[in-house]
Amino acid sequence: MSLADFWFILIAVLWTGYFVLEGFDFGVGILLPVLGRDDAERRTMINTIGPVWDGNEVWLLTAGGATFAAFPLWYATLFSGFYLALLLILLALIVRGVCFEFRGKVATPRWRANWDRAIFVSSALPALLWGVAFANIVRGVPVNAAGVYTGNLLTLLNWYGLLGGLVTLSLFILHGAIFLSLKTSGEIRDRSRAVALRAAVAAVPLAAVFLAVTQVAHGKAATDITAALAALALLGAVGAVFRGREGWAFAGTAITLALAVATLFGDLFPDVMPSTTSPAFSLTVTNAASGHYTLTVMTWVALIFTPVVLGYQGWTYWVFRKRLTRTDFAATGTATGEATGTAAQPVGP
Amino acid sequence: MSALDLSRWQFAITTIYHFIFVPLTIGLSILVACMQTAWVRTKNDSYLRMTKFFGKLLLINFAVGVVTGIVQEFQFGMNWSAYSRFVGDVFGAPLAMEALLAFFLESTFLGLWIFGWNKLPRRLHLATIWLAAIGTNLSAFFILAANSWMQHPVGYRINPVTHRAQLTSIVALLTNSTALAAWPHVIFASFVITGAVVIAASAWHLVRSSDLAVFDKAMRLGLIVTLIAGLATAVTGDIQARLMDSQQPMKMAAAEALYNTESGASFSLFTVGTLNGSKELWSVRVPYLLSLIATLDPHGTVQGINNVERAYTAKYGPGSYKPDIPVTYWSFRLMIGLGMLAVLLALAGLWLTRRGRGRVPRPRWFYRAAIWGVALPYLATTTGWIFTEMGRQPWTVFGVLKTSQSVSQGVTASSVIISMVAFTLVYAALAAIAGWLAVRHIKAGAPPEEPAPASGEPLPVFSY
């Protein structure tokens, strides 16, 4: 395995980390108006991801940075080519990031309702668009001999791309609902489970059709296996929700996302960005990669620091492993913070 | 306007905006960590209230800094893909390192700090804010190493086959003399901003004689931090000037609008004229100062714009290698002048309180100046970045790649107009909301600590 191949796998791992982690953040944000019936419930939901969402988003920055360092030609073509799609994602991530911090700073119902709407939209949009983007990368886009994308935003909105978008959207909603059922207790936990089952009604067939279509058009033997396993893991996750095994269900959707990423990257290889204009113009693991020295340096950095990051992020999840409940937030109601501009004061449950 | 000009405007807008929030995060994360350390060691309640008060200010500011930082990383690929293609092998490495080594540390441990109150053991919780602060400052180093490579490219070669830049030494890149001078300069300048914010917030309360226990201490801290950081910023800036003289002589000449090589060159504080070298109507000059800044010798020789232009034309081929002279001339002066005013304000504050801590009636003009003076260091860092980036033009990577060759090929001007307008509007809205929240938070002051409830686990104080 060459260093460039290793970096191709590592970038797939970074995207897996991003989709598994921020996937449930997006799901929680989308479900906020659906599941949270009052401010205390919505605060319960937001606080399940409160300590971790920012760290989760860094997986995206690291995936972007790693692509820049290891495959500069891929980074350049992809980011300039998908310009307006990425603009929408960026605007959503900007709004979403400040939502969580600013929402709790003022206690009036109108202020919070506005931020709740913003959280919903800014979570749903990237959840959809990441799927559109990845489906199009696998499908191939018009790229000329200079490595410049020659399509526009509408080029990306083909049926296969939109199907991919609906897959990530529905999978993230399912993943988020399962996460909520794992991280809360009481009524909101029961409702999360019910919503997870309803989300599964959409997610399972969409994912099955998408994976089948993908494998027919771009598949190879190895990825047929990962695609089948992804579908099995998804069914296993739904079965676990039925039986109230939330931990297993969460592991199931996480594995589904990981295997789906593995399938798409496996189908791409050795291309990183296939050109529909001419296969000769396709960017590949070899022709898009950085030099041997840069890849060697970055490999050492990644091998040393990725385990460290996984260690302390894992520890964060351990520290905040306790389930949250509506009553944690109900007592503070909407009155706290008004006078002081602060979030909740310490209160007993 | 062409996609190139629009992309430059967008990069300037988004970068300047991003850097409004970055310095306060850099400095305040460290100061809040110090405040919390003081509380853990002394058990003095006022330090705890100070920590929470400035901690929340840090979080409001941090949120905007983070989300605007994502745009920065994506923009290189989106608007400057020709640049990214050419330099990614070199430039991508420090960016990826920043994400993996610094940004994960900062984001994860800040989350632990926000939600870890009353949950983590006291010393462990203290460690989380220190780790977040270290992550922030480390992050600044990698970004400045990347920027310094654009100012003074080292540790690379041009690959003869691909005709692209290729990294040959990561050690050279990370120990670039330009980076080693720029990092402390930016960190100290960030502490001047942080000090000014602490001074302004404290002044708002002291002028009303409210909560002296917290804000008298905070005022003193802010004054001392600003003074020390201000002097250190000047010293490191001085070191940078001499590096600039040898590495980017055109930028040094443009800083003074010095057209012809001169020995014992003077430094003008102010000029009325066209700055195009033809005529100068009136100026206030300090003799020998420019030579002193550039070479440490009052009679040293400073190259003029015309002389450097001739040398560059011979070296890089025909064309103009002059940056925008009025912009570089004035931004250089404003950076220094506004920064010095901020430090003078701190010096005045320390003089007025020289008879010991607090309780000394201070003149109201000082408080008013302290509140409005918070704008000074922000304008100084903004003009500083304008100077260093505009002074490098027409290059993106000095001597290697021109800005005109860096812009994305496939991105149309209309796309860039859409993104520029969208970013500007969203950023303006965020600035208004964040500014309003910050002012509201400062005016509300530091609430008294409530005793912990008798039973059950309390909610984290900063929870959403």
CATH code of the domain covering residue A213 = 1.20.1630.10
Report yes or no: B426 at the A interface, CB cutoff 8 Å: yes
Distance CA B272, CA B222 (A): 37
In a domain, A315, yes or no: yes
Indicate whether B293 and B358 sit together in one domain.
no
Report yes or no: B212 at the A interface, CB cutoff 8 Å: no
Indicate whether B240 and B254 sit together in one domain.
no
Q: Is pLDDT of A338 > 60?
A: no
State the residue for tokens 């940004």: B103
Q: Is pLDDT of A245 > 70?
A: yes
Of the candidates A58, A64, A91, which has its C-beta nearest B422's C-beta?
Answer: A91
Indicate whether B210 and B187 sit together in one domain.
yes
Q: Among B296, B322, B348, give the residue marking a domain's end.
A: B322
In a domain, A339, yes or no: no
pLDDT for A62 equals 92
Give the chain B residue whose CA is nearest to the CA of A14: B100
Give the chain A residue whose CA is nearest to the CA of B57: A342
Nearest to A40 by CA among A330, A332, A348, A346: A330
Evaluate whether A92 touches A108 at the Cβ level (below 8 Å). Answer: no
CB-based contact A51 B101, cutoff 8 Å: no
CB-based contact B464 A43, cutoff 8 Å: yes
Chain A residues touching residue B410 (CB < 8 angstroms) = 80-81, 148-150
Q: Is pLDDT of B452 > 60?
A: no
Chain A residues touching residue B77 (CB < 8 angstroms) = 64, 68, 75-76, 78-80
Query: Model's pTM, two decimal places?
Result: 0.91
Chain B residues touching residue A83 (CB < 8 angstroms) = 78, 408, 411, 415, 419
Q: Is pLDDT of B134 > 90?
A: yes
A64/chain B closest Cα distance in angstroms: 7
> How many CB pairs below 8 A link A and B?
279
CB-based contact B77 A93, cutoff 8 Å: no
CB-based contact B115 A103, cutoff 8 Å: no
pLDDT category, A334, cuts 50, 70, 90? very low
Q: How many CA atoms lie within 13 A of B312 on its CB side?
A: 23
Of the candidates A54, A86, A319, which has its C-beta nearest B120's C-beta?
Answer: A319
Q: How many helices (H) and strands (E) does chain A have?
A: 13, 2
Q: Which DSSP string do the residues of A120-132 spell out, in sequence order?
A: HHHHHHHHHHHHH
B55/chain A closest Cα distance in angstroms: 11
Indicate whether B10 and B50 sit together in one domain.
yes
Indicate whether B97 and B189 sit together in one domain.
yes
CB-based contact B419 A84, cutoff 8 Å: yes
Distance CA B106, CA B112 (A): 10
Q: Is pLDDT of B277 > 70?
A: no
A271/chain B closest Cα distance in angstroms: 17
CB-based contact B77 A78, cutoff 8 Å: yes
Give per-residue pLDDT as tens, A64-113. 999 999 999 999 999 999 999 999 999 999 999 999 888 888 888 899 99
CB-based contact A294 B441, cutoff 8 Å: no
Distance CA B328, CA B395 (A): 15
In sequence order, the 6+-apart residues with CB closer than 8 A to the CB of A194 are none
Chain A residues touching residue B93 (CB < 8 angstroms) = 69, 294, 297-298
CB-based contact A81 B410, cutoff 8 Å: yes
In a domain, B450, yes or no: no
Q: What are phi and psi of B79, to 5 degrees?
A: -100, -20
Q: Among B322, B337, B352, give the residue marking a domain's end.
A: B322
CB-based contact A347 B459, cutoff 8 Å: yes
Indicate whether B365 and B429 sit together in one domain.
yes
Chain B residues touching residue A100 (CB < 8 angstroms) = 63, 464
A296/chain B closest Cα distance in angstroms: 11
In a domain, A341, yes or no: no
Q: Is pLDDT of B137 > 60?
A: yes
**Residue of A15, A25, A39, A54 for testing the chain B interface, max B β-carbons within 10 Å:** A54
Mean per-residue pLDDT for A28-35? Answer: 94
In a domain, B316, yes or no: yes
Give per-residue pLDDT as tens, B31-72. 999 999 999 999 999 999 999 999 999 998 998 888 899 999
Q: Which DSSP string do the residues of B272-332 spell out, in sequence order?
A: EE-SSSS-EEEEEEETTHHHHHHHSSTT-EE--HHHHHHHHHHHH-SS-----HHHHHHHH
In a domain, A336, yes or no: no
Length of chain B: 464
Strands (E), B307-419: 395-397, 401-402
Alpha carbon of residue B460 to chain centroid: 32
Report yes or no: B448 at the A interface, CB cutoff 8 Å: no
Q: Is pLDDT of B218 > 80?
A: yes
Residue A277: count of CB within 10 angstroms of its CB: 17
Of the candidates B108, B408, B459, which has its C-beta nearest A80's C-beta?
Answer: B408
pLDDT for A347 equals 33
Evaluate whether B304 touches B261 at the Cβ level (below 8 Å). Answer: yes
CB-based contact A346 B461, cutoff 8 Å: yes
Q: Is pLDDT of A44 > 70?
A: yes
Q: What are phi and psi of B283, to 5 degrees?
A: -155, 155
Evaluate whether B302 touches B291 at the Cβ level (below 8 Å). Answer: yes
What's B207-245 look like in SS3? Answer: CCCCCHHHHHHHHHHHHHHHHHHHHHHHHHHHHHHHHHH
Indicate whether B73 and B187 sit together in one domain.
yes
* B269-328 residues touching A, CB cutoff 8 A: none
In a domain, B292, yes or no: yes
pLDDT for B453 equals 53
Q: Among B269, B288, B322, give the residue marking a domain's end.
A: B322
In a domain, A200, yes or no: yes
Chain A residues touching residue B419 (CB < 8 angstroms) = 83-84, 87
Report yes or no: B66 at the A interface, CB cutoff 8 Å: yes
Evaluate whether B287 touches B266 at the Cβ level (below 8 Å). Answer: yes
Distance CA A135, CA A167 (A): 10
CB-based contact A77 B170, cutoff 8 Å: no
To the nearest whole number, what is the mean pLDDT of chain B? 90
Of the candidates A51, A94, A105, which has its C-beta nearest B111's C-beta?
Answer: A51
- In 3-state terms, what secondary structure has residue B250? helix
To the nearest whole number, what is the mean pLDDT of chain A? 90
In a domain, B451, yes or no: no
Give per-residue pLDDT as tens, B342-379. 999 999 888 887 765 555 557 888 888 999 999 999 99
Cα–Cα distance list, B316 to B36, B46, B304, B400, B453 (Å):
55, 61, 18, 9, 72
A9/chain B closest Cα distance in angstroms: 16
The two three-digit tokens of residue A128, written as one number: 């959809």
**Domain encompassing residue B439:** 3-244+327-444
Give per-residue pLDDT as tens, B374-423. 999 999 999 999 999 999 999 999 999 999 999 998 899 999 999 999 99
Evaluate whether A326 touches A188 at the Cβ level (below 8 Å). Answer: yes
Evaluate whether B3 touches B414 at the Cβ level (below 8 Å). Answer: no
In a domain, A179, yes or no: yes
Q: Which DSSP string do the residues of A133-194 spell out, in sequence order?
A: HHHHHHH-B-B-TTS-B---HHHH-SHHHHHHHHHHHHHHHHHHHHHHHHHB-SHHHHHHHH
Mean per-residue pLDDT for A272-280? Answer: 92
B220/chain A closest Cα distance in angstroms: 24
Q: Which DSSP string do the residues of A240-279 spell out, in sequence order?
A: HHHTT-HHHHHHHHHHHHHHHHHHHHHHHTTEEE-BSS-G
Q: Is pLDDT of A344 > 50?
A: no
- Count how many domains chain B has: 2
**Domain encompassing residue A33:** 3-330
pLDDT for A337 equals 34
In a domain, B456, yes or no: no
Indicate whether B237 and B262 sit together in one domain.
no
Q: Is pLDDT of A8 > 80?
A: yes
Higher per-residue pLDDT: B82 or B448: B82
In a domain, B461, yes or no: no
Give the chain B residue whose CA is nearest to the CA of A46: B464
Indicate whether B159 and B289 sit together in one domain.
no
CB-based contact B95 A69, cutoff 8 Å: yes
Chain B residues touching residue A147 (CB < 8 angstroms) = 85
Report yes or no: B455 at the A interface, CB cutoff 8 Å: yes
B362/chain A closest Cα distance in angstroms: 27
Of the candidates A148, A294, A341, which has its C-beta nearest B89's C-beta?
Answer: A294
Report yes or no: B452 at the A interface, CB cutoff 8 Å: yes
Mean per-residue pLDDT for B233-251? Answer: 91
Indicate whether B74 and B213 sit together in one domain.
yes
Chain B residues touching residue A70 (CB < 8 angstroms) = 92, 96
pLDDT category, B460, cuts 50, 70, 90? low
CB-based contact B437 A68, cutoff 8 Å: no
Length of chain A: 349
Chain B residues touching residue A332 (CB < 8 angstroms) = 459
Of the candidates A67, A77, A345, which has its C-beta nearest B81's C-beta?
Answer: A77
Indicate whether B225 and B77 sit together in one domain.
yes
- In angstroms, how far apart are the furthest CA atoms of chain B? 80
Evaluate whether A215 touches A228 at the Cβ level (below 8 Å). Answer: no
Give the chain B residue whose CA is nearest to the CA of A73: B85
Looking at this protein, which amino acid is placed at residue A231? A
- Count how many domains chain A has: 1
CB-based contact A346 B118, cutoff 8 Å: yes
CB-based contact A341 B459, cutoff 8 Å: no
Nearest to A213 by CA among A231, A200, A239: A231
Q: Is pLDDT of B456 > 60?
A: no
Q: Is pLDDT of A333 > 70?
A: no
Indicate whether B354 and B385 sit together in one domain.
yes
Distance CA A158, CA A6 (A): 31
Of the candidates A68, A87, A147, which has its C-beta nearest B77's C-beta?
Answer: A68
CB-based contact A97 B63, cutoff 8 Å: yes
CA angle B438, B107, B388 (to 5 degrees): 70
In a domain, A340, yes or no: no
CB-based contact A297 B170, cutoff 8 Å: yes
In a domain, A299, yes or no: yes
Cβ-in-10-Å burial (0-12, 13-18, 19+) of A278 comes to exposed
The two three-digit tokens of residue B233, written as one number: 């910023």
In a domain, B297, yes or no: yes
Report yes or no: B53 at the A interface, CB cutoff 8 Å: no
Report yes or no: B99 at the A interface, CB cutoff 8 Å: yes
pLDDT for B280 equals 65
Q: Is pLDDT of A346 > 60?
A: no
pLDDT for A341 equals 34
The two three-digit tokens of residue A297, written as one number: 């340096």
